[in-house]
Amino acid sequence: MRSMMIDAEDRLMVDLFKGYNSLVQPVRNKSELPMIVKIAMQLILLINVDEKEQVMHTNVWLTLKWQDFQMRWDPSDYDGITQIRVAPDKIWLPDIVLFNNADGNYEVSFMCNALVHHSGEVLWVPPAIYKSSCIIGLFF
């Protein structure tokens, strides 16, 4: 049984990525623009606050969710598989920019896999470490 699931998942991956271009935004036509990407950020740890430089160093988890019409499949064609994990370099990812970035680095700290549902919904929850500039009002 396990062997059949692996075969079905291999077949699914081959079928999904046949002709897929991760550089192209996953919309069928321009009428679907702008594309909706839901984003949330959860503060995990306040690493440091530098009052003098007015910089905050944080560890966060980002949650990004969007639809990719090319990532849809019928689970009955693939032994009931309803979701798969995919390396983020294989799929389209939204560009994320930290507006008040203090050090020029606003990339995620670990490129964890994305979860792709058979409906085409993609969920990516990478961790990130950010340095943000912020006005810190000190009163004594």
pLDDT digits over 73-93, tens only?
999 999 999 999 999 999 999
CATH entry 3.30.300.180 includes domain 2-43+58-129: no
Q: How far apart (Å, rounded) are the C-alpha atoms in residues 29 and 49? A: 45
The answer on pLDDT for 124 being more than 80 is: yes
**The predicted structure's pLDDT at residue 4:** 61
Q: What is the largest CA-CA distance in the chain?
A: 68
* pTM of the entire predicted model: 0.86
Specify whether the CB–CB gap between 22 and 92 falls below 8 A.
yes
The residues facing 45 across adjacent strands are: 59
Q: How far apart (Å, rounded) are the C-alpha atoms in residues 42 and 83? A: 24
Specify whether the CB–CB gap between 97 and 105 falls below 8 A.
no
Backbone angles phi, psi at 117, to 5 degrees: -90, 150
The answer on pLDDT for 110 being more than 90 is: no
Specify whether the CB–CB gap between 129 and 107 falls below 8 A.
no
Q: Where do the structural domains in the chain lie, given as residue ranges?
A: 2-43+58-129
Residue 19 falls in which region: left (phi positive, over 0), alpha (psi -120 to 50) or beta: left
Confidence of residue 98 (pLDDT cuts 50, 70, 90): confident
